[in-house]
Amino acid sequence: MVEAAYKAANLNIRYINTEVFPDALEAAVHGAKAMNWLGFNLSAPHKVAVIPMLDGLGESASIMGAVNCVVNRDGKLIGENTDGKGFLTAFSQVLNPEGKTICIFGAGGAARAIAIELALVKAKKIIVVNRNIERGEDLVDTIKTRTSAQAEFVQWTPNFVIPGDVAAIVNATTIGMEQFEGKKLDLDFDSIRTDLVVSDVIVNPPNTHLLQEAAKRGAVTIDGVGMLVQQGVIGIKYWTGIDADQSAMRSALEAVNI
């Protein structure tokens, strides 16, 4: 996807995958800086461990305590988090989150990134629905203490009914991924309203069971592919300053049968 964007922009830049084990992370970061890389992405388990090795953090990365994108700014490595920003860009094309109450399922890395970004653009309230009480309450506490948004934790119970005051729901769990075929969000799907925006972070398959059920009930849906593309667009902008060709990026994703 990223290489497709570089090719479309005629940039002589490569985006390569490298496997770095935890005990070699610091050496890899020093190497990237020494070789004057434009930046790099990180996946688990490095998103938190890398922070002491960087020269600074962006606002949302600092609040959520996780980095997935590092940018070389005048020789200093700055940690950013594009997970939530990619979601926010795709989401905002459908609904302006300012002043809205939004319900997020999950309290892991994706949920934290999304919740913080929504709070920073003045969502009125974030409802965190999660089975693990400690993780859910920790995310709610972070939202309350580090942003101006209201937040509430609700324990995830069977056949969960969507609160009537929410403008949008977000599935930020892994439920719905292809490898979990047959698993469905434990939700009362008849509580999905026609005026609700329903978003899912799952990329494979893009049209998840949740989105299918939401579409049947007339809700507006947002799939995870848009979030992934926008996440890439933001990273490329950080590294090169260009506005990437989103259609070329989406086509590249579709070509590998996401």
The model scores a pTM over 0.85 = yes
195 and 124 assigned to the same domain = yes
Are 130 and 191 found together in one domain?
yes
Residue 178 in this model has a pLDDT that exceeds 80: no
Rounded to whole angstroms, the Cα distance separating 75 from 126 reads 37
Both 216 and 90 in one domain: the answer is: yes
Answer yes or no: do 209 and 89 share one domain: yes
Range of the domain at 183: 84-225
Q: Are residues 218 and 247 in the same domain?
A: no
For residue 231, pLDDT beyond 60? yes
The total number of structural domains that make up the chain: 2
Q: What is the CATH number of the domain that holds 33?
A: 3.40.50.10860
pLDDT for position 11: 95
Confirm whether 135 is domain-assigned.
yes
Co-location of 72 and 7 in the same domain:
yes
Mean pLDDT value across the chain: 94
**Residues 106-134, mean pLDDT to the nearest whole number:** 95
Same domain, 180 and 221: yes
- CB neighbours of residue 222 within 10 Å: 22
* Same-domain status, 132 and 215: yes
Can you tell me the distance from the alpha carbon of 50 to that of 43, in angstroms, rounded to the nearest whole number? 10
pLDDT band at 181 (very low <50, low <70, confident <90, very high): low
Whether residue 95 sits in one domain with residue 220 = yes
Burial per residue of 82-94, b for 16 or more beta-carbon CB atoms within 10 angstroms, e otherwise: bbbbbbbbbbeee
102 shares a domain with 38? no
Q: Tell me, yes or no, whether 134 and 198 share the same domain.
A: yes
CATH number at residue 169: 3.40.50.720
Is residue 182 pLDDT above 70, yes or no?
A: no
Please indicate whether residue 76 is annotated as part of the active site: no
Of the candidates 198, 171, 160, 162, the one whose C-alpha atom is nearest the C-alpha of residue 105 is 171
Could you give the CA distance from residue 78 to residue 91 in angstroms, rounded to a whole number?
26
Is residue 180 within 8 A of residue 174, CB to CB? The reply is: yes
Rounded to an integer, the average pLDDT of 3-8 is: 95
Residue 258 lies in a domain: no
Q: Which one is catalytic: 7, 47, 124, 237?
A: 47
**What tokens appear for 8 in the block?**
């479309």
What's the average model confidence in pLDDT over 212-221?
97
Please give the structure tokens belonging to residue 229: 């593309």
Establish if 257 belongs to a structural domain. Answer: no
CA distance 70 to 77: 6
State whether 65 and 89 are in the same domain: no
What is the per-residue DSSP string for 145-203?
A: HHSSSEEEEEE--TTBPPPTT-SEEEE-SSTT-GGGTT----B-GGG--TT-EEEE---
Among residues of the chain, what percentage have pLDDT more than 70? 98
